[in-house]
Structure 1
Amino acid sequence: RTLDASGTKPAGMVRVPGAQTPTGRVDDFFIDRTEVTNRQFKEFVAADGYETREFWTEPFELDGRSIPWDEAMEQFVDQTGRPGPSTWQAGTYADGDADHPVTGVSWYEAAAYAAFAGRSLPTSVHWGLARGEQTPIISFYQLGGFAVYAPFSNFGADGTVPAGSLPGITAYGAVDMAGNAREWNANRSPFGRIVRGGAWGDNTYMFGEPSQAPPFDRSPKNGFRCARYSEGDEVAAASQLVTFSEGPDFYAMEPVADEIFELYRERFLYDEAPLNANVERRSEEHPDYVYERVTFDAAYRGERVIGHLFLPRNASPPYQTVVYVPGSAALLHPSSEDMGQYYEYPVFLSFLVKNGRAVFFPVYAGTFERGRADLPQLVAGGQQKTRLHSGFLTDVVRDFSRSVDYLESRDDIDRDRLAYYGMSWGGWLGAIIPAVETRVATAIVAFGGLIDAGRPEVHPINYVGRVSMPVLMLNGRYDSNFLLDTSIQPMFELLGTPDEQKELKLFESDHIIPKNDLIRETLDWLDQYLGPVD
């Protein structure tokens, strides 16, 4: 590590060591310790930053066309029509938010502020180095971001917190690179510009995955920090277009014949056997629900499935019930204790219970305390085409079916009004599980799509066309995990569901769509296919 002489380091910045990267050698550079705050951005506004053209060096591109300065400036106003971020009113930020990261800014506004401050937006390469991308603890998939930073960062919340107020800190002293505001980078992307780090309303794995948004996007998630490069450092290579892996052409893939598919489907079936179910804990402390932690026999190897059941207080049994399949963070999270506080419950599930529907959240094979040491390689490494991976997915699907067995055994659950609800990892499994487990009446696939994973016996292409139940897909147009043209759209079009019973809703977002849109569309769909809550 290089020690900087007193007074030589730029104020509010930390030094990041240079490194060899895929785009070439990067010299030492400085990056803001915190995200730019409302207080700092107000200095730019007060200095007539929105009227000073020299700060706005990039040509304005909106909906595929170049637009003049005056038209662009009309976009950059607050909620009352004054120059400023979309989250401000009357030309300023909300009381008490001075030290929160500024949000609601477009890429152009972030770049203009950087020019005003005599700095730059970091390239994706520089931003990645600053988060510790080449340090052992981050480069190790199972730990990077999830176990180390996520518990100490602002994810799964309803808004920002003061910059630097949480203990999540990188190896070089930068804070809030995980969560709080997602941060604009300099690089172009297929749909606009790169944003990184994830935001207060995102899942934890967004810390590790570059995303994208149109440069005029002014989401309340959008913030930024600045970088300063050493004199003579060549950053052009690091500023190049960032693209995302598109995967295969699913339309060109040929599903197996029905007789072969029946052999594949057989692998998920199991002999009828007692559940030996046990309610291990019951709590009536929460005002919205009665909580039960249950266990029952799995369909394999003498294992037990854990289930977290949330029964609504504002409805009467038998309850409509949504069976949830979570995002991939569940594969790395060590425990499902306090499931009501786990990120995905308050963000993606609590509204269902408040609406009068029960939620069942099983701990599937490989998730939470049922995790496995080999999962990183099976799920995201080089072993997705192995029989071991096929066995893992088979266990997951069987756990879902066994969960339905359990729900059907209860008098307080309406067995005819069950729904599948999968998010991200659970979203792409929505191409498989509903083709096998037909006792659920409908499926909601949130932030999912087709991926090229698995041997033929578990490959989504052999299942998606056999899904026949009503399906709602909810996706962000700029998702970099499941690309619209090569993953999302193919899944929707290849679903075997009749056209009049499937719907794809696209939103102007990346991986995680706005919460209010998720709530509205999900409840409307469940009302349509399960019926309104009694």
Structure 2
Amino acid sequence: SISNFKGDSISEVGTFQAYGPYGTLDMTGNVREWVWNIFGGRGMTLGGAVGEPEYTGFQANPMPRFDRSELTGFRTVRLLNPADLNPFGDPINRPEPPPLEFYKKLDEEAFKLYSTRYSYGKRDLDAKVIYVDESHQDWIKEKVSISVGYNNERMDVLIFRPKNVFNAVSSVVVYPGLNYFRDPPDIDDINPGEYGLDFIIKSGRALVWPAFKGSLNRIVDKAVAQPSTEDQMRQFREMMVNWRVDTSRTLDYLEERQEFNNSDFHYLGMSYGAVYTPIVLVFEDRYKSAIFLSGGFSPYAPPHSDGLFFLDRVKTPVLMLNVEQDFLIPTESQEIMFNGLGASNENKKYVLFKAGHWPLPRNQMINESLDWLDSYEK
């Protein structure tokens, strides 16, 4: 992409020669733009801005109408007929998802049959350390390659260990957002600070980032991440099985290393990783706790991958950090996921911030996350 998503700051219009239809410039990236419509009392912006994931260029983002961020601008237009603007001023509403009772969960016999696809057995990981980078002041970065045991494939795993910590550390495994399944950076360029996750490492924990099937350098067809055809849906369901295997292989590897406390593994899902990949929690019981950032139930997922049929079987303690004005995962969808989780009431928590889909308010996110992790490591 030549649009200004990965730059350090906004630039003058036309700097990147990113042409759109009819000679328009910078329709995506650089600064997001106000549009005429409103959503839930907020203004609507489009196009994404510098520093945001590239997929935001094609998704709506509600903002407070008094927001004056330098990352939000507007585009002028001269109409030949002012009446042409009339159809564009209507509020935008999203259809509410069906109530929880609309969905039928799998009974015990059906679930037992379905779960055979997710069966898992340990095997030799054939682990290879690709490199160890100690140049950062706060962490040691490792890139490891392991065999996943299917299709003769291997998986790269990035590990960020805190410096100057000499006891075995707990590990937080990252399940990333959609951009890592659609338009990812080079795996070696991943920086924990990009999404504000460096606080995990600074708290004395390891941040573990596997290249799950369909993400980073393991993408075969990026359309499968958001399937629309029958064949893509079939591949998506197969990818869900791969995620379960990739997860367990990752934890197997961490258990082999004395630097990691094999009784303190945690799940951290961001957006896509808090919508689709939580199915691994049904089959992997080594996670002490889980944190879902901007997650929830998706009514647009393929059948048997929307999460509802397995949510009540997720007994892992879960912290859900969400926002009120989320156009992608509205509060109704958030509540369906939270209420459907099988964890006991004292082992699940739902926090709602005043913000849009991403980023979450940093200080609150850090405080809630660290308190949650601490409470399950005692």
Provide TM-score, normalisation by structure 2. Answer: 0.90
* Alignment equivalent of 1:170, drawn from 19, 28, 48: 19
Partner Cα distance (1:383, 1:249) in 2: 26
CA drift at 1:240: 2.1
Q: Decide whether aligned partners of structure 1 residues 154 and 296 sit closer, same or farther in structure 2, where only a CA change above 3 A counts.
A: closer
Deviation at 1:175, TM superposition (A): 5.0
In the other structure, the counterpart of 2:245 is 398
Describe the SS at the equivalent of 1:460.
Answer: coil
Match of 1:421 in 2: 268
Residue of structure 2 in register with 1:301 after alignment:
151
- 2:119 corresponds to which of 269, 274, 278: 269
Q: Per-residue deviation at 1:174?
A: 5.0
One-letter identity of the residue aligned with 2:183 = H
Amino acid at match of 1:464: L
1:491 partner letter? M
Contact 2:130 2:145 in 1 (8 A): yes
When residues 257 and 345 of structure 1 are mapped into structure 2, their CA distance, relative to the original with a 3 A threshold, is: farther
AA in 2 matched with 1:280: I
In structure 2, the residue matched to 1:253 is 103
Mapping of residues 455-474 of structure 1, within 5 Å: 455-456=303-304, 458-474=305-321
Please point out which of 448, 472, 486 is paired with 2:295. Answer: 448
Look up the match of 1:224: 73
Would you say the 8 A contact 1:377–1:383 is kept in 2? no
1:510 aligns with 2:356: yes
Match for residue 327 of structure 2?
480
SS at match of 2:319: strand
Residues 273-322 of structure 1: per-residue CA shift (max 9 Å, x gap): 11111111111111111111101111312210110011110422311110
Aligned pairs for 1:358-437 (under 5 A) are: 358-373=206-221, 375-377=222-224, 379-383=226-230, 386-429=233-276, 431-437=278-284
Distance in structure 2 (CA, Å) of the matches to 1:166 and 1:261: 55
How far did residue 415 of structure 1 move? Answer: 0.9
Shift of 1:429: 2.8
How far apart in 2 are the matches of 1:466 and 1:376?
29
Q: Secondary structure at the match of 2:197?
A: helix
Instruction: Quote the offset at 1:424 in angstroms.
Output: 0.8
**Which one-letter code corresponds to 1:505 in the other structure?**
V
Aligned CA distance change for structure 1 residues 340 and 211 (closer, same or farther; 3 Å): closer
CA RMSD of aligned residues (A): 2.4
The one-letter amino acid paired with 1:277 is A
C-alpha distance in structure 2 between counterparts of 1:460 and 1:173, whole Å: 43
1:403 is displaced (CA, Å) by: 0.8
Is the 2:170–2:205 contact (alpha carbons within 8 Å) kept by the matching residues of 1?
yes
CA distance in 1 between counterparts of 2:265 and 2:10 reads 38
Aligned residue for 1:311?
161
Check the 8 A contact 1:365/1:395 in 2, yes or no. Answer: yes
Shift of 1:249: 3.1
Match of 1:203 in 2: 53
8 Å contact kept, 1:153–1:168:
no
Q: Per-residue CA shift, 1:461-507, capped at 9, x if unaligned?
A: 1111111121111111111111111x111001111111111111111
CA offset digits 1:27-58 (Å, max 9, x no partner): xxxxxxxxxxxxxxxxxxxxxxxxxxxxxxxx
Contact 2:5/2:52 (8 A) holds in 1: no
Give 1:289's match in structure 2, choosing from 136, 139, 148. Answer: 139
Which residue of 2 is the match for residue 153 of structure 1?
5
Residues 476 and 334 (structure 1), Cα distance of their counterparts in 2 relative to 1, 3 Å cut:
closer
- The one-letter code sitting in structure 2 at the alignment partner of 1:153 is F
Q: Percent identity?
A: 28
C-alpha contact 2:35 2:43 (8 A) present in aligned 1 = yes
Residues 7-32 of structure 1, C-alpha deviation per residue, up to 9 Å, x if partnerless? xxxxxxxxxxxxxxxxxxxxxxxxxx
Name the count of aligned residue pairs. Answer: 374
The Cα shift of 1:201 comes to: 5.4
1:323 equivalent to 2:170? Answer no
Q: Secondary structure at the match of 2:265?
A: strand
Distance change (3 Å), C-alpha of 1:287 and 1:174: farther
**Superposition pairs for residues 116-127 of structure 1, below 5 Å?**
none
| Bigger radius of gyration | 1
Q: Residues 345, 300 of structure 1: CA spacing in aligned structure 2 closer, same or farther, 3 A cutoff?
A: farther
Contact in 2 for aligned 1:318/1:412 (Cα 8 Å): yes
Return the match for 1:352 from 200, 216, 223.
200
Asked if the contact 2:182–2:225 (Cα under 8 Å) also holds between the matched residues in 1, the reply is no
Pair 1:431–1:527, CA change in 2 (3 A):
same
- Asked if 1:240 is matched to 2:90, the reply is yes
- Counterparts of 2:216 and 2:179, CA distance in 1: 9
CA gap of 1:246–1:163, structure 2 versus 1, over 3 A, is farther
